[in-house]
Amino acid sequence: MDLSKLNREELTLLGAGACTMATLHFSSQLASQHLYYWKTPKEQRAILIIILAAPVFAVNSFVSVLDINGSKPFFMLLNSIKECYEALVIATFLSLLYTYLNISVGQNIVPDEIKGREMHHSFPMTLFQPRIAHLNHQTLKLLNYWIWQFVVTRPTCSFLMMGLKLLGMYPTWVSWIFTIILSISIYVAMYSLVVFYHTFAKELEPHKPLAKFLCVNGIVFFCFGQGVFIDILAKVGVIKSHHFWLDVEHVEEAIRNVLICVEMLLFSVFQQYAFHVEPYSGAVQSMLQKGKKNEVMQH
């Protein structure tokens, strides 16, 4: 294929497709490794759901780029599926953290060794909470509620937006109301996960917590923030349409989706480290690695 003969649109489509295929490769490779070393079902089931977020988002965005003038209801449905998956990823990630910590909020099980631990809040949450709170079942449940509100708010807003668009009742001011609601919801959930991370950093240390937090927060929260930023650029006239068959809204969607295709490739590579299969492969993986080292030394 002579790339020099392709126009800008064809090159963009080719690049987005290549990134999507690479994302599918890396994510399926990591998922198959976890399935092969299926040692801890509760943890690895959660990890599989999180791993699949990158290909789900990438395929969703690539389909939108592939047929940018396609049926609006179809693409609204695709977008709703992606947004519901975001909520599932956050709920699953929280469940995974509880599994690592052996905590059960529903059964009032909080290990004695972590009770009374200090939790530090910052502005603007200090308007509603003391700057320093002590960990107990109630404070832990509050963190849980702050995270779960996003799990409920995200799909609810998604379906409401889809319904209003189909009914032709979606003016700009309604769009911005939903954006503000979701922005507040996402901020509270992200803040709660950060507080959770700092509170349990010591216990989570063996599980590469920072890498996992960055991966999940990047896929869910960064993509939303990026979308809002692109939307603002379009509204103030920075993003313009130079095509007679595409309006600004379509150009904005195309930019957002192409960026997601590229970013999901980066996240699928980062997941190889954040959710590596080594903790579950046990002695088999160590023996294989040792055998490879011995072969290299002999040669």
For strand 118-120 and strand 132-134, is the pairing parallel, antiparallel, or unpaired? Answer: antiparallel
Distances in whole angstroms, Cα of residue 153 to Cα of each of 2, 145, 183: 47, 12, 11
Single-letter amino acid, residue 189: A
Question: 10 CB contacts (<8 Å, ≥6 apart)?
Answer: none
| pLDDT tens-digit map of 52-77 | 999 999 998 888 887 665 556 777 77
For 276-287, b where at least 16 C-beta lie within 10 A, e where not — what string?
bbebbbeeebee
Q: Which residue has the higher pLDDT, 168 or 26?
A: 26
> What's residue 89's pLDDT?
92
Can you spell out the DSSP letters for 248-293?
HHHHHHHHHHHHHHHHHHHHHHHHHHHT-SHHHHHHHHHHHHHHHH
As given in the structure block, the two tokens for residue 126 are: 């200090």
> What's residue 250's pLDDT?
66
Of 147, 158, 262, 142, nearest to 216 (Cα)? 147
Residue 167 main-chain phi, psi, to 5 deg: -85, -5
As given in the structure block, the two tokens for residue 220 are: 């869910």
**Where along the chain do its domains lie?**
8-297
User: Does domain 8-297 match CATH 1.10.8?
Assistant: no
Q: Which of 9-18, 103-112, 225-234 has the lowest mean pLDDT?
A: 103-112
Three-state secondary-structure class, residue 132: strand
**Cα separation of 222 and 187, whole Å?**
11
pTM for the complete prediction? Answer: 0.82
| pLDDT tens-digit map of 191-201 | 888 888 888 88
- Rounded-to-10 torsion of CA 122, 123, 125, 129: 70
The residue behind tokens 């980066």 is 266
